[in-house]
Amino acid sequence: MKIAKTVAVVRYETPQASVRRAVELCRGLDHLPARANVFIKPNIVFWTRAVPFPKWGVITTTRVVEDMVILLKERGIDDITLGEGMVTSTPGDTQTPAHAFETLGYGLLKRRYGVKYVNIFERPFMTVDVGEGFRLNFNADAIESDFIVNLPVMKSHNQTIVSLGIKNLKGLIDIASRKRCHSMQPGRDLHAWVSRLADRMPPMFTLIDGIYSNERGPGFDGKMRRSNILIASADCLSADLVGAKLLGHDPAQVPHLADAAARRRRPTDLSDIDNPGEEIESMARYHEYDFQYATTEEGCLPVPMAKEGLKGIFYRKYDLSMCTYCSGINGVMLSGIRQAWNGTPWDGVEVLTGKAMQPTPGMRKTILVGKCMYRAHKDHPAIRELIAVKGCPPKPKDLLGALRQAGIEADPAWFEKMDQLPGLFMARYAGRPEFEEGHFRAGE
């Protein structure tokens, strides 16, 4: 008879007490070795120094990070490292991660508890075989630790449906590995790569931070909610199966979770999971994950833009092959196009992204965004007029130039001030007391 996996679903109510209850109910630290070297992996998916932006539902709250540090210290753990590999607009930027760590109060955690914190891109990596020929370069600090505390945010995700404990570990791999994950090869696509991220980890405890959740995540352009949920387990997959259910999704329909469960010969219906906490069904709230696109003879665009009547622009919907860096500029491109619309149809302009899209015969102008797309189609016979944006990631000035070459007179401000765009989303949450900045400061 198989022993049931324990996942504690706890309603977040008060600092320290709520996290403590979640940990105790699932006995999540019972397998923590004495005097262990512990690596804490928060989720800091994005950061900018330019403007304040909505962190709720995007970044693990400092409140949860500090509460976990306190629990570790109470158990006599002195060797604690916080580490993350966050996305920055310029690869290799070390100042922005340093600013993030300090702003989130990790400097105070260092002074108060002796915690170390690292930008994994400034640390060594080691190649790990995660099975069946899947090999990724992981941060060595995490892989060589005695124990990992995994602190993801509760999100739906526009490519992987949900982003929870397993997906959070993608922040431990190097850029080359992240790009490798964004494949369209059958059996080796993004879902297959992500499903294996937890397979070679040291012993791990997962606490999903759902004080705030994110609909259509993972970034600041999602819709944030105050959800007040904590999901805790010593088994990462079990935590994720429950997390998916709480986000309103059948775990069997989340490819990376279904794949991970199948390899472990586990059901996805939660029948082998014991929850000593809150009743799951009463806490579940559906979180949409997808951005709907409309395709007609006159264009292809996200539904809100199509309803505004834009014509002559075919901006194909992203697929699994679009990696993190191109995803970051996708919204800026669409915003620039939207603002440039003056009622006059454009002349059959197609925009292709990622690695797998194919040019459509008959288009008059084809913009290839990013090095991968340019390499794939720079000699394609179906392209009449090729407009290339070759960078990895593409440079803002090149994106603007491509649109203008295609006859789309986008406002330069959208591209010259890309680092300020996240601040525009703050207006959605202005004056709403349920969204508390204090959750992202230590000691509050």
The DSSP bridge pattern shows strands 273-274 and 5-11 to be parallel
Looking at the structure, tell me whether residues 13 and 69 fall in a common domain: yes
Domain that holds residue 359: 293-424
Q: Assess contact for 44 and 100: CB atoms under 8 A.
A: yes
- Does some domain include residue 438? no
Q: Report H helices in 161-235.
A: 165-168, 175-181, 190-195
DSSP secondary structure letters along 343-395: SSPPSSEEEE-TTT--PPTT-SEEEEESHHHHHHHTT-TT-SEEEEE--SSPP
Nearest partner of 125 among 178, 181, 77, judged by Cα: 178
- Does some domain include residue 430? no
Cβ atoms within 10 Å, residue 67:
22
Looking at the structure, tell me whether residues 80 and 167 fall in a common domain: yes
pTM of the model: 0.96
Cβ atoms within 10 Å, residue 132:
11
Q: How far apart are CA 61 and CA 42, in angstroms?
A: 9
Helix (H) or strand (E) holding 210: strand 204-217
Looking at the structure, tell me whether residues 177 and 216 fall in a common domain: yes
pLDDT at residue 239 in the model? 98
- Does some domain include residue 437? no
Looking at the structure, tell me whether residues 200 and 257 fall in a common domain: yes
Looking at the structure, tell me whether residues 336 and 400 fall in a common domain: yes
Q: How far apart are CA 274 and CA 144, in angstroms?
A: 30
Looking at the structure, tell me whether residues 43 and 148 fall in a common domain: yes
Q: How far apart are CA 209 and CA 341, in angstroms?
A: 40
Looking at the structure, tell me whether residues 269 and 343 fall in a common domain: no
Looking at the structure, tell me whether residues 234 and 305 fall in a common domain: no
Per-block mean pLDDT, blocks of 10 residues, the chain (444 long): 81 97 97 96 94 96 98 98 90 92 98 97 97 96 98 97 98 95 92 98 98 96 97 98 98 98 97 97 97 93 95 95 86 93 96 95 96 95 96 91 97 89 92 97 87
- Does some domain include residue 442? no
Give the total number of structural domains in the chain: 2
Domain stops at, among 272, 289, 306: 289
Looking at the structure, tell me whether residues 85 and 116 fall in a common domain: yes
- Does some domain include residue 302? yes
Domain stops at, among 289, 309, 330: 289
- Does some domain include residue 431? no
Looking at the structure, tell me whether residues 187 and 326 fall in a common domain: no
Q: How far apart are CA 42 and CA 45, in angstroms?
A: 9
Q: How far apart are CA 251 and CA 239, in angstroms?
A: 11
Domain stops at, among 289, 320, 336: 289
pLDDT at residue 89 in the model? 74
Looking at the structure, tell me whether residues 330 and 212 fall in a common domain: no
- Does some domain include residue 440? no
3-state secondary structure of 116: strand
Q: Assess contact for 39 and 142: CB atoms under 8 A.
A: yes
- Does some domain include residue 115? yes
Provide the phi-psi class of 94: left if phi over 0, else alpha when psi is between -120 and 50, else beta: alpha
Looking at the structure, tell me whether residues 189 and 304 fall in a common domain: no
CATH number at residue 222: 3.40.50.11440
Computed on alpha carbons and rounded to an integer, the radius of gyration of the chain in Å comes to: 22
